[in-house]
A and B are shown apart, each in its own frame.
Chain A
């Protein structure tokens, strides 16, 4: 009986040793497999279409839009928007003040879509001329 217990203990030690040797190896193998699958899939996936370089995006923006100094800060509240218009863009503000309350709200809504001062000014003029 004592001999059998000893044999069982030895068997358990061998099994535990094997598990300790094999498991980390399996984990590393699994990680390697995952990385190789990722790399293979990346090769298969071409460059993402429509990508632009940051510099190009910046240039493109400059080409289509006014420089930063010609842009009203984004995300202003209605009151702050009116304040900025009054302090920094007096010409546009002069025309803006001629608009009705509803029209001014429309200008503010427009600014939320496009914060370039040139566009905002055009919208003010459009509303003014439409009566």
Chain B
């Protein structure tokens, strides 16, 4: 009898809570990785969920289904874009989105020109076209871009100080290798660059432009798969606000 009452109480409790028993309906069949079903990132102040298209029969039908483009200029990029720069894949991007993006120590840069960016971008990315990285060192857009990435312009440095820094940099001491004549990159962000995929040269150009300004290569990552692989994997793509504004005009 006591057992019966306990059972009935449990049933009543469940019924009163209005629970549904079919819990698996909400689970995702197509997860990001074996340990992560989805993740959420901040994009322009909105939380966007990144997950994969759940329709296992889905195939690409847009411009990213195209196999061939003229080379040059759309040539296949090497795996290693520059010495010291790491190449990353989607799983590393997810980890970056969970760790470095929220605490502000990292940034994901869509290095494509606005005409590409406005067609859709990876959530959490900001658009800094590669053209902003390849200008002269003293060009306003170069300075603005380096400041966005956490670089700090230095006041004039005496040759004695600079010589000492160079010596320390060679010895790997005091973080002196994070400084150039004009910039201090000690607190610069870790930056992941991406563009349209393995056939796209925009992010490699941005990376090489950035490195030529003395940005520490160990803080730079190249997501070679870019939009091409992001699309192939059915991952969430967002339309930038700027594109919406253009469409509304």
Q: Tell me the A residues contacting B by CB distance below 8 Å.
A: 33-35, 37-39, 41-55, 57-58, 61, 65, 68, 74-75, 91, 95, 110, 112-114, 116, 119, 121-123, 125-126, 128-129
Provide the bound-state CA to CA distance between A39 and B202, in Å.
12
Which residue of chain A has its CB nearest to the CB of B23?
A: A122
* B64 touches A (CB below 8 Å): yes
Q: Tell me the B residues contacting A by CB distance below 8 Å.
A: 10, 13-14, 17, 19-23, 26-28, 31, 35-37, 39-40, 43-49, 53, 60-64, 66, 69-70, 73-74, 98, 113, 115-116, 119-120, 123, 131, 201-202, 227, 231, 234, 236-239, 241, 244
Contact pick for B27, options A37, A47, A113, A128, CB 8 Å? A113
Provide the bound-state CA to CA distance between A128 and B21, in Å.
10
Q: Are A53 and B244 in contact (CB under 8 A)?
A: yes
Provide the bound-state CA to CA distance between A44 and B70, in Å.
13
Which residue of chain B has its CB nearest to the CB of A60?
A: B49
- Cβ distance B245 to chain A, nearest Cβ, rounded Å: 11
Contacts of A110 in B (CB 8 A): 23, 27
Contacts of B35 in A (CB 8 A): 112
Provide the bound-state CA to CA distance between A38 and B205, in Å.
13
Looking at B53, B69, B73, the one whose CB has the most chain A CB atoms below 10 A away is B73
Provide the bound-state CA to CA distance between A44 and B127, in Å.
21
Contacts of B237 in A (CB 8 A): 48, 50-52
- Cβ distance B27 to chain A, nearest Cβ, rounded Å: 5
Q: Are A48 and B21 in contact (CB under 8 A)?
A: no
Which residue of chain A has its CB nearest to the CB of B66?
A: A45
Interface of A (DSSP majority class): helix
Q: Are A39 and B115 in contact (CB under 8 A)?
A: yes
Contacts of A44 in B (CB 8 A): 63
Provide the bound-state CA to CA distance between A119 and B20, in Å.
9
Q: Are A48 and B28 in contact (CB under 8 A)?
A: no
Which residue of chain A has its CB nearest to the CB of B21?
A: A126
Pairs across A and B, CB under 8 Å, 20 listed: A38-B73, A38-B116, A42-B119, A46-B62, A47-B62, A48-B63, A48-B119, A48-B231, A49-B61, A54-B241, A57-B43, A57-B46, A61-B47, A68-B47, A114-B26, A114-B37, A116-B26, A123-B23, A125-B14, A126-B22
Provide the bound-state CA to CA distance between A39 and B244, in Å.
19
Tell me whether A119 and B23 are in contact in the complex, defined as CB-CB below 8 angstroms, given that A41-B74, A113-B37 are known contacts: yes
Q: Are B64 and A48 in contact (CB under 8 A)?
A: yes
Contacts of B238 in A (CB 8 A): 51-54, 57
- Cβ distance B240 to chain A, nearest Cβ, rounded Å: 8
Provide the bound-state CA to CA distance between A33 and B74, in Å.
12
Q: Are B113 and A38 in contact (CB under 8 A)?
A: yes
Looking at B27, B53, B98, the one whose CB has the most chain A CB atoms below 10 A away is B27
- Cβ distance A80 to chain B, nearest Cβ, rounded Å: 15
Q: Are B62 and A38 in contact (CB under 8 A)?
A: no
Contacts of A123 in B (CB 8 A): 23
Q: Are B27 and A46 in contact (CB under 8 A)?
A: no
Contacts of B66 in A (CB 8 A): 45
Tell me whether A50 and B53 are in contact in the complex, defined as CB-CB below 8 angstroms, given that A75-B98, A113-B31, A123-B23 are known contacts: yes
Contacts of B27 in A (CB 8 A): 110, 113-114
Contacts of A58 in B (CB 8 A): 46-48
Q: Are A49 and B62 in contact (CB under 8 A)?
A: yes
Q: Are B119 and A122 in contact (CB under 8 A)?
A: no
- Cβ distance B244 to chain A, nearest Cβ, rounded Å: 6
Tell me whether A46 and B119 are in contact in the complex, defined as CB-CB below 8 angstroms, given that A112-B35, A123-B23, A125-B19 are known contacts: yes
